[in-house]
Chain A
Amino acid sequence: MELAFIIEKFVLITVIFALSLVVAMYSTLAERKIAAFLQDRVGPNRAGPGGLFQPLADGAKMFFKEEIIPEQASKFLFVAGPSLAILTACIGSAVIPWGEAVVIAGRMIDLQVTDINVGILYIFGVVSLGVYGVMIGGWASNNKFSLMGAIRAASQNISYEIPMGLSIIALLLLTNTLSLKEITAQQHGWHWNVLYQPLGFLVFLVCSFAETNRTPFDLPECETELVGGYHTEYSSMKLGFYLFAEYINMFISSAVMATLYFGGYNYPGMDWVNSLLGPLWGPLVGMMVLLLKIFVFIFFFMWVRWTVPRFRYDQLMNLGWKVLIPLAIANIVITGIWITVVDKL
């Protein structure tokens, strides 16, 4: 391994890490602003111009609050819970292709940290690992409400992983590869997968709401029933980590949806723009397009949160097992028949 390669990857990882943190930070502000917009209020506007420094103020508040570890709690696991939550939220971005390869000083640089040939499965694995942060934290708090939240998180994640996996299988039948880089490259121009997999996308979208614990599926932290859910006993920055992990998860799952179904960095007329701007600025425009798609998805997440009320627990399970799984299986069958028919023609 040459030095330039290591430096290149190191810079890329740092930039992506910083990007996901900044996006997550400003998502908190965006959420409050959008909530205010939907409820015809003004929202936070005191800290800085238009409330722009509100996330910094919130972060400082979190850091300076007193840190409380309950007497009966299991100390190590109590700290491990939020750490694990933020860790699993951050490592998902490693396989997402952020743009086409750029050429800087005669060197091709991939805007992707690593292109493992099981990229989708890696994302899936990280998602399934995400529940441990919630479960460990909820159990270690030694509080019945936290425990209920943790148990709900576990059953919800397990249930919604199945339709999510099934909807991905239908997508893989079309793309014939597990590598996210190749899947994105196949969607060149306007050949976005959502045009071929509308049903699969719908199932994936609903499941990603459930996997990120966002309303209408935020049963693990349902404050009308469980005080604060799995983070009832948490205070200070450990609580901040849990809340922050949710926003990073939202960013990453938006990025995954944009990559899998909405063409990633591809947009109609990209060849013309690339030939006009050259091999450095062309891909960067593509990256901006990807970020734009991600922001649209994040807006959608927030829009739904302030529009749809929370599900009841039995409704959540019915939706997962009796609606989404049959839909996803039907989608696989239809896709299979479609591919066979197209092959025969």
Chain B
Amino acid sequence: MSISLFYFIAFLSIFFSLLVIFAKNPVHSILYLIITFFTFTMQYILLNAQFLAIVNFIVYMGAILVLFLFVLMLLNLNKESEPLKSNLLKTIGVIAGMCLLVTLIGSTKSLQLSNPIVLQAQNLGLVKNLGKVLFSEFLLPFEISSILLLSAMVGAVLLAKREPKDAS
């Protein structure tokens, strides 16, 4: 039951992420990306990682992709404003894509299958256990990553701030 559900949702994720690439309209491709993230949320729920699922839901679907959609709606991209790509660029793109494909095939061939579906501890993903682990075992990485986020935020504000001479 849960394995077939896993494969069904995994199929949906891949299907919608392909649609993200193949959609002609950028706004449509963002909407497909939203659905892709929603399938990730479903995978987390299957793993009983409720906190991760809901945070993925809030942060990615509720905030980041809203901003993506916001920017794309402002830009209003369409066929006429699309920059023309030269044949040289297209050829380079094809070659680079092929290289990536060869690498991916090579790495999947040497991949050893682990046992991904069996969950070691059922309650591992609940918010209580996650919090305990984060604030004891992984305290240092947790604090460092929060400082990293803070500095990124300060940097973004600094970049967006107008120069003093512009302001007048």
Contacts and interface: CB of A to CB of B under 8 A. Distances in A.
B127 interface: yes
Given A125-B62, A128-B62, A154 B54 contact: no
Nearest to A147: B73
Contact of B58 (A116, A125, A154): A125
A185 interface: no
B61 interface: yes
Interface string B55-98: 10110011100110110011000000000000000000000000
Interface residues of A, number: 25
Contact of A150 (B62, B73, B126): B73
Contact of B67 (A116, A127, A158): A158
B67 A139 contact: no
Contacts of B55: 121
Contacts of B20: none
A122 interface: yes
B55 to A, nearest CB: 7
Interface stretch (A7-15, A130-138, A251-259): A130-138
B67 to A, nearest CB: 7
B66 A135 contact: yes
Nearest to B27: A139
A121 B58 contact: yes
A209 B120 CA distance: 44
A118 interface: yes
Interface string A145-163: 0010011001101100100
Given A117-B50, A136-B31, A147-B73, A178 B57 contact: no
A128 B66 contact: yes
Interface string B101-130: 000000000000000000000000011100
A154 B127 contact: no
B57 A125 contact: yes
A110 B34 CA distance: 34
A122 B66 contact: no
B54 A125 contact: yes
Nearest to B66: A154
B61 A129 contact: yes
Is chain B's interface secondary structure helix, strand, loop, or mixed overall? helix
Interface in A161-205: 161, 178
A135 B57 contact: no
B32 to A, nearest CB: 12
Nearest to B41: A125
Interface in A98-120: 116-118
A124 interface: yes
B51 interface: yes
Interface of B: 27, 31, 34, 50-51, 54-55, 57-58, 61-63, 66-67, 69-70, 73-74, 126-128
30 contacts: A116-B50, A117-B50, A117-B126, A118-B127, A121-B51, A121-B54, A121-B55, A124-B58, A125-B62, A127-B62, A128-B63, A128-B66, A132-B34, A132-B66, A132-B69, A135-B69, A135-B73, A139-B27, A139-B69, A147-B73, A151-B73, A151-B74, A154-B66, A154-B70, A154-B73, A158-B66, A158-B67, A158-B70, A161-B63, A178-B127
Given A121-B54, A151-B74, 13 more contacts: A121-B55, A124-B58, A125-B58, A128-B61, A129-B61, A129-B62, A131-B66, A136-B31, A139-B73, A147-B73, A150-B73, A151-B70, A158-B67
Interface of A: 77, 116-118, 121-122, 124-125, 127-129, 131-132, 135-136, 139, 147, 150-151, 154-155, 157-158, 161, 178
